[in-house]
């Protein structure tokens, strides 16, 4: 065999595998159940529908429901997952050397469509009007807390202090709650694009205040805090 007859060896570069059909079907089922729960909440009002009503509307069995959600409240809480997933996707695209809170602000700013916060805003509005749904709101915040901890650990490394991670996530969630509370006091259950843009900006400004160490308003405005690169400490695992 001559050298000319030897076929060159080429390395095959495999494309990253996307979600399998089974994973896509599971995601679709989960979304269908959550949508049915929210639709029933809108049409029937709180306390006027059951898990059985949700399963009938979603076209799934009771067993399937509990394969995905531990309770009716958990199904309602999941409507906020989409917003958090998109925000974390943007967070992970940020430079690794950027502070956590700078990345969080940038992630929120990247979600330019105010309607991206609509599901979370609607759930918050409904729980404010009927405190019997407070558990749904609590479940949503707890799920977000866990996602923030996981994202921060991935950025900072597995040896990062658990106290730091939980304090960071708790602080971010508290700022999120504050932004939504102020928005609801100002706009009520208004879910128009203009109202949701106000909520989006409150979320961005709240992250700025946290990054600035909650300096008195006479020293820093929310807008300045949200754009000032000097607002964050300089340690390796800084906020």
Is residue 154's pLDDT more than 70? yes
CA distances from 53 to 14, 17, 37, 48 (A): 45, 37, 8, 10
Where residue 5 falls among pLDDT bands split at 50, 70, 90?
very low
Exposed, middle or buried by CB within 10 Å (0-12, 13-18, 19+), for 151? buried
Strand extents, DSSP E, the chain: none
Q: Mean pLDDT throughout 10-25?
A: 66
pLDDT recorded at residue 129: 66
Compute the half-sphere exposure of residue 7: CA atoms within 13 Å on the CB side of its CA. 3
pLDDT recorded at residue 73: 85
Is 110 or 5 the better-scoring residue by pLDDT? Answer: 110
Radius of gyration of the chain (CA): 22
| Mean pLDDT, the chain, integer | 82
Exposed, middle or buried by CB within 10 Å (0-12, 13-18, 19+), for 155? middle
Is 171 or 8 the better-scoring residue by pLDDT? Answer: 171
Helix/strand/coil for 237: coil
pLDDT recorded at residue 95: 92
> 0.85 exceeded by the pTM?
no
Q: Mean pLDDT throughout 104-124?
A: 87
C-beta of residue 91 within 8 angstroms of C-beta of residue 104: yes
- Residues 89 and 147: their CA atoms lie apart, in Å, by 11
- Render pLDDT for 123-151 as a digit per residue (tens, 0 to 9): 888 877 666 677 777 888 888 899 899 99
CA nearest to 124, candidates 166, 179, 47: 179
pLDDT recorded at residue 232: 38
- Residues 52 and 65: their CA atoms lie apart, in Å, by 9
pLDDT recorded at residue 212: 85
């Amino acid at each position: 065999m001559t050298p000319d007859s030897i076929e060159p060896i080429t390395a095959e570069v495999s494309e990253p595998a996307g979600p399998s059909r089974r994973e896509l079907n599971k995601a679709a089922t989960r979304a269908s159940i959550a949508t049915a729960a929210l639709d029933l909440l809108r049409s029937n009002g709180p306390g006027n529908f059951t898990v059985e009503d949700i399963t009938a509307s979603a076209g799934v069995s009771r067993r399937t429901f509990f394969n995905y959600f531990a309770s009716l409240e958990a199904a309602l809480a999941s409507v906020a997952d989409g917003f958090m997933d998109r925000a974390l996707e943007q967070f992970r695209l940020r430079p690794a050397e950027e502070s956590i809170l700078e990345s969080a602000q940038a992630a929120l700013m990247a979600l330019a469509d105010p309607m991206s916060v609509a599901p979370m805003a609607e759930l918050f509005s409904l729980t404010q009007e009927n405190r019997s749904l407070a558990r749904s709101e609590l479940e949503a915040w707890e799920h977000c807390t866990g996602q923030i901890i996981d994202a921060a650990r991935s950025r900072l490394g597995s040896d990062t202090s658990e106290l730091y991670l939980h304090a960071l996530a708790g602080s971010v969630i508290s700022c999120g709650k504050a932004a939504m509370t102020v928005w609801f006091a100002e706009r009520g259950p208004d879910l128009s694009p203009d109202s949701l843009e106000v909520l989006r900006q409150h979320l961005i400004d709240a992250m700025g205040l946290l990054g600035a160490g909650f300096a008195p308003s006479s020293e820093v405005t929310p807008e300045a805090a949200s754009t000032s690169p000097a607002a964050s400490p300089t340690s390796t695992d800084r906020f």
